[in-house]
Amino acid sequence: MAITYNLNIGSLKRKLSVDDLENVIIEVSIGVSAQSQEYPQFSYSCGGNISFDISEIDADSFVPFEEVTKETVLGWLLAKEGVESVDEFSYVKASVDNIQARIDELQVEDSVSVGWSVTNAPELEVVVEEVVAEPAVEEVPQEDILEP
């Protein structure tokens, strides 16, 4: 089952000045959307903000804001999590795993839309008989009748 995903880097938050450095990126806003490509089709989206620790920023390895690219930010995100590929990135992995779990669950339980409907039957002649109950009369033998 093919599950595709899209990792979006939405915005960058920067500090205008840190020590002698300008426009230091401190946070990245990301979003991930994933979807299965075959039946059953599921989709899942998540997102968030990822902050960078700039307390020990190195001026020698600092990338000026004007030179930051998508690949640069992606490299920072992967390094922050200690992973080597986008497939291993926590937000992507969570999205793909969510869809896979839903697919696995569906393989255990399945609902199928059949679209069946039932209409009322043609009118039937209904005969209603009125039953009148006769009062119960108990016959008492003559010898049990008391006379005044």
Cβ contact 40:103 at 8 Å:
yes
Residue 35 and residue 78: Cα distance in Å, rounded? Answer: 22
* pLDDT of amino acid 130: 67
**Comparison of pLDDT for 132 and 29, the residue scoring more:** 29
Give the closest residue to 24 by CA, choosing from 70, 48, 55: 55
Token pair recorded at residue 74: 């992606």
**Comparison of pLDDT for 109 and 53, the residue scoring more:** 53
* pLDDT of amino acid 137: 58
Tell how far CA 129 is from the center of its chain: 59
* Residues 36-63, mean pLDDT to the nearest whole number: 86
The answer, yes or no, to whether residue 23 has pLDDT greater than 60, is yes
Three-state secondary-structure class, residue 137: coil
Which sequence spans correspond to the domains of the chain? 3-56+64-108
pLDDT band at 58 (very low <50, low <70, confident <90, very high): confident
Residue owning tokens 């089709």? 41
**Comparison of pLDDT for 131 and 83, the residue scoring more:** 83
* Residues 108-118, mean pLDDT to the nearest whole number: 74
The answer, yes or no, to whether residue 20 has pLDDT greater than 70, is yes
Mean residue pLDDT across the chain: 82
What's the distance, Cα to Cα, between the start and end of the chain in Å? 101
In tens, the pLDDT along 62-102 reads 999 999 999 999 999 999 999 999 989 988 989 888 888 88
Which H/E stretch holds residue 18? strand 3-18
* pLDDT of amino acid 127: 63
**Phi, psi at residue 19, to the nearest 5°?**
55, -120
pLDDT band at 25 (very low <50, low <70, confident <90, very high): very high
